[in-house]
A and B are shown apart, each in its own frame.
Chain A
Amino acid sequence: MLANAILIAMALIILALVLNIWRVVIGPDITDRILALDTLYINAIALLVLLGIHMTSAAYFEAALLIAMIGFIGTTALCKYLLRGDIIE
């Protein structure tokens, strides 16, 4: 029951990742691509959490936390660059 649910959830998340990459490829503007990359890292965290449940290992949460922090910093830096032409003023 639980193993099947994890597999189905993984399939759904991987489909979501493929859709995000498709938006990164076709995105007409630079902000669309940044938004797609933002969604991509959130879905990657979801996949890591699912892997942590699947393998019954708590080590995946540190990776999830690191990806959350670095993804947020990346999105913020790109947006600041678009807004100001500089990241750290």
Chain B
Amino acid sequence: MLDIIISIFLILGAGFALVGSIGLLRLPDFYTRLHGPTKATTLGLGALLIASMIYFSSRGEVSLHELLVTLFLFMTAPVSAHLLAKAALHLRIRSEVDLPKDEQSKP
């Protein structure tokens, strides 16, 4: 029973990571490409870490140090995505639609 739950979480997580990477490869411009990895891949890694937590907790003592990796990633993924978007706006990377004005790079 526990094996089935762990397997479902494993396949779900790996599938989400793959979907995020396909999005990174296929979407048309940088600002849409930013969506795929920063959401889908982080969610996939969260599911994999839940599976690992269940697996190691089922073998005896409760194992919670996967929570550290999960918390750290869920805190840092939005920060790095925000920094990347700011850098792309600063460099005026090509976009499919008109970009908003960059307030910081005024002379």
Contacts and interface: CB of A to CB of B under 8 A. Distances in A.
Contacts of A8: 10-11, 14
Contacts of B13: 9, 46
B72 A5 contact: no
What's the dominant secondary structure at chain B's contact region?
helix
A43 B21 contact: yes
A84 B44 CA distance: 33
Interface string B48-77: 110110011001000101101100110011
Q: Chain A binding site: helix, strand, loop or mixed by DSSP?
A: helix
Interface in A63-89: 64-65, 68-69, 72, 75-76, 79-80, 82-83
Nearest to B44: A46
B99 interface: no
Given A31-B93, A45-B69, A61-B65, A38 B84 contact: yes
A76 B69 CA distance: 18
A49 B87 contact: no
Given A22-B25, A35-B84, A16 B69 contact: no
Interface of B: 3-4, 6-7, 10-11, 13-15, 17-18, 20-22, 24-25, 30, 33-34, 37, 41-42, 44-45, 48-49, 51-52, 55-56, 59, 63, 65-66, 68-69, 72-73, 76-77, 79-80, 83-84, 86-88, 90-91, 93-94
